[in-house]
Structure 1
């Protein structure tokens, strides 16, 4: 890796953290430069302006997610394989909480002027998973809504978690709550596609 590549990665890492925490609209190029330990001109030289940074961050997030989902989809041989796919998706979100955070901001109308990301990134992944699911689930299952239910639940859990009796929030970084969440999502999907309860 060249020093130029290293600087670009440092910038993208900083931009990812800030966009995930504050959203596109709440993050400035100056904030990204400071977080990367560089000046604004250096950031612009390596990546471009704020919009370019955001697109690069979302593309990098998409590439990582696509790799995990592609590998998992290739293993789906029956309806039960969809539960393994659910596990891989939840694992990915737990290992890369910045990815669901980035998309949650978009769903709340962040970066509204960057309109092509869903078409280029979300729709192809949805179609890839849906195509695999339709081969192994009964007719009449609304596959797209089953997929969206997993996404909505996982992103919501990742950003909000659950509150315990003391008011402490627990989410993807809490192994016990993550296990409970995973079991619940697996049960939801199994019910939706007509499988026996996986916890039984």
Structure 2
């Protein structure tokens, strides 16, 4: 890796953290420069403007997710394989919490002036998973809504977690709550696709 590549990666890493935490609209190029230990001109030289950087961040997040999901989809042999896919998606979100955080901001109208991201990055993943699922689940299952239910639940849990009796939030980084969440989502999906309760 050249020093130029290293600087670009450092900038994208810093931008990913900031966009995930504050959203596109809440993050300035100056903040990204400071977080990456560079000046604004250097950031612009390596990645262009804020919009270019945001697209680069989303593209990198998409590649990570696509690779994981493509591998998991390739292993689906029957309806029970859908539950393994759910597990892998939850694991992915726990390992890369910045990815669901980026999309949560986006879905709350963040970066509204950056068009077509869903068309380029979300729709292909949704279509890939849906095509595999339709081969193994019964007719009549609304596969897209099952997929979206997993996404909505996982992103919401990652962003807000759950409150315990003392008002403390627990989320993807809490192994006990993550296990409870996984069990719950597996049961939801098993019910939705017609698997017996004990399959989850």
Q: TM-score, normalised by structure 1?
A: 0.99
Aligned partner of 1:47 in structure 2 is 47
Looking at structure 2, the residues matched to 19 and 199 of structure 1 have their Cα atoms a distance apart, in angstroms, of 38
Looking at structure 2, the residues matched to 139 and 199 of structure 1 have their Cα atoms a distance apart, in angstroms, of 19
State how 1:9-158 maps to structure 2 within 5 Å: 9-158=9-158
Looking at structure 2, the residues matched to 111 and 157 of structure 1 have their Cα atoms a distance apart, in angstroms, of 22
Q: Is the 8 A contact 1:190 1:198 kept in 2?
A: no
Question: What is the total number of aligned residue pairs between the two structures?
Answer: 200
Q: Is the 8 A contact 2:21 2:101 kept in 1?
A: yes
Unaligned runs of 5+ in 2: none
Unaligned runs of 5+ in 1: none
Measured on the aligned residues, the alpha-carbon RMSD in Å equals 0.8
Tell me which stretches of 4 or more aligned residues in structure 1 moved more than 4 Å: none
Q: TM-score, normalised by structure 2?
A: 0.99
Shift of 1:115: 1.2
Shift of 1:198: 3.9
Shift of 1:199: 6.4
Shift of 1:16: 0.1
